[in-house]
Amino acid sequence: MSSTPVIGVLALQGDVREHLIALAAADAVARPVRRPEELAEVDGLVIPGGESTTISKLAELFGLMEPLRERIAAGLPVYGTCAGLIMLADKILDPRSGQETFGGIDMIVRRNAFGRQNESFEAGVTVAGIDTPVEGVFIRAPWVESVGGTVEVLAEHEGHIVAVRQGNVLATSFHPELTGDHRIHELFVDMVRAER
């Protein structure tokens, strides 16, 4: 059996702690990542929810934008939730000026697509590869407007794409780290194990 994978959580902004807890529950060694040297040491990375415009600015400031783009291109398994999904999109439909993404998934996303903060909601979501619905917590959530041919759509909510995978990159519009249901984190940890 291979050793336990080390998975980082990008800790610039957002719900870092909840992801660290969920990853530990899914049998990974989880640690925060803020610096390029820390990024170099992980087998996989989670990009949490928060505010994608802020994560984009801080990633530039901390010198993580290019190193992370390079590692994603080189096959690093990455999982993004909500703002993290936005950061993994090759294109944002409605970016703030200067807003950049890491990219990695051939998709176009729409920010705040499901409504503003007061329109946040929970819904059962059927995710390909997981036998019963997961509880989706949507907080000013984006949806995926369109995907390229090699992107797998894993889940939809009311006709909108809310979970996708392209190769080593996984993304959900919703926040499984807030529910105590660790099945999506387990799926990601399995992706990381498969790569090692």
Ligand X SMILES: NC(=O)CC[C@H](N)C(=O)O
Give the residue numbers of the binding site: 50-52, 111, 139-140
Question: Which one is catalytic: 18, 19, 82, 186?
Answer: 82
Binding part of the chain for ligand X, among 23-31, 49-57, 70-78, 149-157 by CB under 6 A, reads: 49-57
Residue at 55: amino acid letter: I
Does the active-site annotation cover 177? yes
Answer whether 191's CB lies under 8 Å from 170's CB: yes
Rounded to whole angstroms, the Cα distance separating 183 from 41 reads 25
Residues 1-40 that bind ligand X (CB under 6 A): none
Question: Which one is catalytic: 175, 182, 185, 186?
Answer: 175
Residue tagged 């009311």 (tokens): 158
Q: Is 99 in the site for ligand X (CB under 6 A)?
A: no
Instruction: Give Cα separations from 98 to 60, 81, 86, 104 (angstroms).
Output: 11, 21, 14, 19
Q: Rule CB under 6 A: choose which of 12, 20, 26, 83 binds ligand X.
A: 83
Rounded to whole angstroms, the Cα distance separating 188 from 47 reads 12
Does the active-site annotation cover 175? yes
Q: Is 190 in the site for ligand X (CB under 6 A)?
A: no
- Torsions phi, psi of 140, nearest 5? 45, 50
Q: Rule CB under 6 A: choose which of 38, 69, 112, 152 binds ligand X.
A: 112
Binding part of the chain for ligand X, among 37-45, 80-88, 101-109, 153-161 by CB under 6 A, reads: 80-88
Instruction: Give Cα separations from 68 to 94, 112, 149 (angstroms).
Output: 23, 24, 24
x/- track of binding to ligand X for residues 156-175 (CB under 6 A): --------------------
Answer whether 176's CB lies under 8 Å from 18's CB: no
Reading the block at residue 140, the tokens are: 């000013």
Q: Which residues are catalytic?
A: 82, 175, 177
The site for ligand X (CB under 6 A) is made up of: 49-52, 82-83, 86, 111-112, 139-140
